[in-house]
Amino acid sequence: MALQASSLPTTTLSLHKEGKLSARAKDSAFWGVSIPDQNKSPFYFAKAKKLSTAFAVKSQTAATTTTTTTGAAPGESKSAAEGKKVLRKGVVIVTGASSGLGLATAKALAETGRWHVVMACRDFLKAETAARAAGMARGSYTVVHLDLASLDSIRQFVDSFRRMGMPLDVLVCNAAIYRPTARQPTFTADGYEMSVGVNHLGHFLLARLLLEDLNKSDYPSRRLIILGSITGNTNTLAGNVPPKAGLGDLRGLAAGLSGQGASVGSAMIDGGQFDGAKAYKDSKVCNMLTMQEFHRRYHEETGITFASLYPGCIATTGLFREHIPLFRLLFPPFQKFVTKGFVSEEESGKRLAQVVSDPSLTKSGVYWSWNKDSASFENQLSKEASDPEKARKVWELSEKLVGLA
């Protein structure tokens, strides 16, 4: 069963005659939603589900308040009592928020007081402990179990999230694994090679299912963000360090990424011999192609912003946990002093938080990067990572593998 827990504030709830749920928080608010003491349970949102579909929420901590009394814009509600327009807290799901970039982003967003962060993590206790150690305020986040290595778990996560009755304003597909020293492939619960299974296929299913929820949100800017990387782009020096990313003709993906080697079916997208580092880079190419395919299929119709990014080289994160000790020792100074591509976890968290919430980053279909002064710019993807025909094929094959087609 999917686990969830939220540190909920002391609050009061009131129901208006038009059936809208309006609330006032007495302390650091959970998007301003107020909960009587007896309802301080993780399952509060399940009880509130029906009411919450059309709720109007006032948050005392939410930032954007104006004194205008003109008609409410999407994502805004009008407090009848005070005649003020108030932007409610945004709700953002961040996968893999138990460490590294995901945790730093969750913290950066929660600290603004304008976001409630749903930390979608495979290790519930680790995530809860990490959030506390990072100093995230009670009530600013909810940990919900999600194991991207299992399609069942992903569907359960979506059910659990919906039962909580929150809107969904932004989804960040951040979690990933990197297995550079693995000699043999490992497989997800559904039998797909682990790196592509978790990093791409798991997020593909999650994003496809939650698109509906993003589309229902009344928030002014709804966004779906999928992490990419420089190492998946062969138009860069970093992307030319062997083994290079390359999806080939997708024969391995078409065959289900389930084999042990080229002669007995392949675990690699291009049908070749297993290579853990290449599998990660290939998965990042899929992430960047998927973002663009989402943009082409859904941006015009839904207005949702689809984006990808390279947050910089965060050489200290758990991503390199399986690498040899010498690599882990030398990689951070190498990136700091030689390539100068190093970025701290904190700084990378601010970058991703920008892509989540900065009003100037609403352009869809963009792969964001940052220059030396930490200013964002639209970066160029490699030929393969921007190939629309490949994106369409990856989309269609992935649909079959996750049971959507």
Positions touching ligand NDP (CB under 6 A) are 95-96, 98-102, 121-123, 126, 146-149, 174-177, 198, 227, 229, 310-311, 313-315, 317-319
* Residue 229 is a binding residue for ligand PMR (CB under 6 A): yes
Q: Which residues contact 212 (CB under 8 A, 6 or more apart)?
A: none
> CB of 237: closest distance to ligand PMR in angstroms?
4
- The amino acid at residue 111 is E
- Cα 318 to Cα 96: distance, rounded to the nearest angstrom: 11
Nearest residue to ligand PMR, using CB? 341
Total interface residues for ligand PMR by CB under 6 A:
14
If the CB atoms of residues 56 and 257 are measured against ligand NDP, the closer one turns out to be: 257
* Residue 237 is a binding residue for ligand PMR (CB under 6 A): yes
**From the list 341, 361, 368, 381, which residue makes contact with ligand PMR (rule: CB under 6 A)?**
341
Q: Which two tokens stand for residue 384?
A: 């393969």
> CB of 20: closest distance to ligand NDP in angstroms?
35
If the CB atoms of residues 14 and 181 are measured against ligand PMR, the closer one turns out to be: 181
* CA triple 284-173-223, angle to 5 deg: 115
Residue 241 touches which member of ligand PMR, ligand NDP, none, C-beta under 5-8 Å by kind: ligand PMR
If the CB atoms of residues 45 and 368 are measured against ligand NDP, the closer one turns out to be: 368
> CB of 377: closest distance to ligand NDP in angstroms?
16
Residue 122 touches which member of ligand PMR, ligand NDP, none, C-beta under 5-8 Å by kind: ligand NDP
> CB of 382: closest distance to ligand NDP in angstroms?
15
Binders of ligand PMR in range 129-188 (CB under 6 A): 178, 180
Buried/exposed code over 147-170 (b: 16+ C-beta within 10 A; e: otherwise): bbbbbebbbbbbebbbebbbbbbb
> CB of 9: closest distance to ligand NDP in angstroms?
26
Residue for token digits 């839904």? 302
Q: Which two tokens stand for residue 165?
A: 């009755």
> CB of 344: closest distance to ligand PMR in angstroms?
13
Of the ranges 83-91, 110-118, 181-189, 228-236, which one interacts with ligand PMR (CB under 6 A)? 228-236
**Nearest to residue 350, comparing CAs of 379, 315, 380, 314?**
314
- The amino acid at residue 290 is T
Quickly count: other Cβ atoms within 10 Å of residue 129's Cβ.
13
Residue 180 touches which member of ligand NDP, ligand PMR, none, C-beta under 5-8 Å by kind: ligand PMR
Of the ranges 19-27, 115-123, 225-233, 293-301, which one interacts with ligand PMR (CB under 6 A)? 225-233
Q: How deeply is 301 buried, as exposed, middle or buried, from its count of CB atoms within 10 A (0-12, 13-18, 19+)? A: exposed
Nearest residue to ligand NDP, using CB? 100
Cβ atoms of 117 and 110 within 8 Å: the answer is yes
Task: Identify the DSSP state of 297.
Answer: I
- The amino acid at residue 184 is Q
Tell me whether strands 141-145 and 4-6 are parallel, antiparallel or unpaired.
antiparallel
- Cα 325 to Cα 309: distance, rounded to the nearest angstrom: 28
Positions that interact with ligand PMR (CB under 6 A): 178, 180, 229-231, 237-238, 241, 277, 280-281, 313, 339, 341
